[in-house]
Amino acid sequence: MKYLFKNAKVLTMNSQMEILDDCDVLVENDCIKCVGNIGPEDRDKARAIDCTGKLLMPGFINGHTHVPMSILRNYADDMELQTWLFKYIFPVEERLTGEDVFFSSLLGIMEMLATGTTCFIDMYFFMDDIARAVEMSGIRAHLSRGMTCNEKGPDFSKVESLNESISFFKNWNGEANGRITGAFAPHAIYTCSPEFIKAVRDAAEKLGAPIHVHLDETLTEHENSLKDYNKTPTKHLYDLGLFDLKTIAAHCVWITDEDISLLKEKNVTIAHNPKSNLKLASGIAPIPEALSKGVNVILGTDGVASNNNLSMFEEISLAALIQKGAKQDPLLVSAKEAIRMATVNGSKALGRDDLGEVAPGKKADLILIDLDKPHFLPLHNPVSALAYCAQGVRRLSYYGKRPDTLRKR
């Protein structure tokens, strides 16, 4: 199947962030075949989509979420993280069924697709049900079964979540035409003993699976780590050898300069979740410092229970704004950097080079943004417009209504 996107304004996301006006893009099956200069034969055979007045760009990669938490939207707000997690979230999660997870995943996926996300990086449970929702919807996802165990071992062969992780990875990695990839997810250092983290690491290494972990999210986690292990959470996981495997570490709010060097040394990707960190008052991650040391940073919404939506437009905007405000420096985290975190950097985090860019040979995970909206006009700078003006699916109520309907009121 061939599609011809005609007359689009194309934000390529190449290293120069080049923008091509009135550009045609040819897609064949799930790949981009040609950008500009499309031959007559290809034109004739393709289904044409008129993109006049629209921006064509790579879809966003949501770098850290828990998609079934859509069912907990607005359920527990305005409280401290440990109370929120242990008194409200964990007790409800214990009662969720696979069917709940399947349908709430579909809900979250609908919201993500409607707000420009074409790939998400997730950690939860009932993973088969999430994978079925991914398979059905057409979205791309990097999925991992979150694991918790504070036992000392040495035998972890009966830990259900570890066994589920192993079978999930074997059953689903590379499935849905390659749209599903798998990872191993020790939840966090406060829910996993050092011995268990080592066992998870060894099991992941055996299967060639990457790692997804929560890291240094709150000051409490940071201080407890210093008390229990006499080292920071980052140094703790570094010493356990977890970062020898390809790792995405979510949050990293309280990491030190030394931690940033360790993350850089091991090529660990930071998944920055600005809105969740603000809402739970966890703090503001030192992202400019990480970027200046060359650490790969991606953006995530975290779960809906701590956000309370899955719109990457908000994360892009907040990633650029909070550093400027917190450090009184308007030059920190530019619109360009924030959009790169939501696209190409996500591809790098997944260890691939075929996402996050509009170029021949890349996956056709593309989105179209209608620029003919009041909040985009005048369009002096499309990159700034994306970072600071875009609104996801939110619309004023009169949008789309015909003038005669309005007059009849």
Are 277 and 270 contacting, i.e. CB atoms less than 8 angstroms apart? no
Applying the rule CB under 5 A, the residues between 184 and 243 that interact with Zn ion are: none
The DSSP symbol for 363 reads B
Q: Which residue is nearest to Zn ion (CB)?
A: 302
Q: Which is nearer to Zn ion, 216 or 302 (CB)?
A: 302
C-alpha angle 331/119/352, rounded to 5°? 80
Q: Which is nearer to Zn ion, 242 or 369 (CB)?
A: 242
Q: Which is nearer to Zn ion, 12 or 282 (CB)?
A: 282
Q: Greatest CA span in the chain, whole angstroms?
A: 74
Task: Find the shortest distance in angstroms from Cβ 275 to Zn ion.
Answer: 12
Task: Find the shortest distance in angstroms from Cβ 302 to Zn ion.
Answer: 5
Q: Which is nearer to Zn ion, 24 or 302 (CB)?
A: 302
Number of neighbours of residue 116 by Cβ within 10 angstroms: 24
Q: Which is nearer to Zn ion, 5 or 254 (CB)?
A: 254
Applying the rule CB under 5 A, the residues between 300 and 329 that interact with Zn ion are: 302
> Which tokens go with 264?
């850089």
Task: Find the shortest distance in angstroms from Cβ 123 to Zn ion.
Answer: 7
Annotate each residue in 88-127 with x if it binds Zn ion (CB under 5 A) or - if it does not, as one string.
----------------------------------------
Q: Which is nearer to Zn ion, 118 or 306 (CB)?
A: 306
Q: Which is nearer to Zn ion, 35 or 189 (CB)?
A: 189
Q: Is 371 helix (H, G, I), strand (E, B) or coil?
A: coil
Q: How far apart are CA 1 and CA 45, in angstroms?
A: 9
How many chain residues bind Zn ion (CB under 5 A)?
A: 1
Task: Find the shortest distance in angstroms from Cβ 220 to Zn ion.
Answer: 16
Helices (H), 153-273: 160-172, 194-207, 219-229, 233-239, 257-265
Nearest alpha-carbon partner for 159 in 111, 207, 193, 122: 193
**Binding segment (CB under 5 A) for Zn ion, from list 98-106, 297-305, 331-339, 378-386:** 297-305
Annotate each residue in 243-282 with x if it binds Zn ion (CB under 5 A) or - if it does not, as one string.
----------------------------------------
**Binding segment (CB under 5 A) for Zn ion, from list 201-209, 241-249, 288-296, 299-307:** 299-307
Name the strands in the sheet holding 297-299, side by side, starting at the edge strand that comes first in the sequence: 60-65, 117-124, 140-147, 180-186, 211-215, 247-251, 269-272, 297-299
Cβ contacts of 277-280, under 8 Å, gap ≥ 24: 277/217, 277/251, 277/253, 278/318, 278/322, 279/77, 279/306, 279/307, 279/308, 280/80, 280/81, 280/84, 280/218, 280/306
**Binding segment (CB under 5 A) for Zn ion, from list 296-304, 359-367, 377-385, 388-396:** 296-304
**Binding segment (CB under 5 A) for Zn ion, from list 233-241, 294-302, 364-372, 375-383:** 294-302
Residue written as tokens 């055996």? 206
**Binding segment (CB under 5 A) for Zn ion, from list 103-111, 132-140, 261-269, 295-303:** 295-303
Q: Which is nearer to Zn ion, 84 or 196 (CB)?
A: 84
- Give the footprint of Zn ion on this chain (CB under 5 A): 302
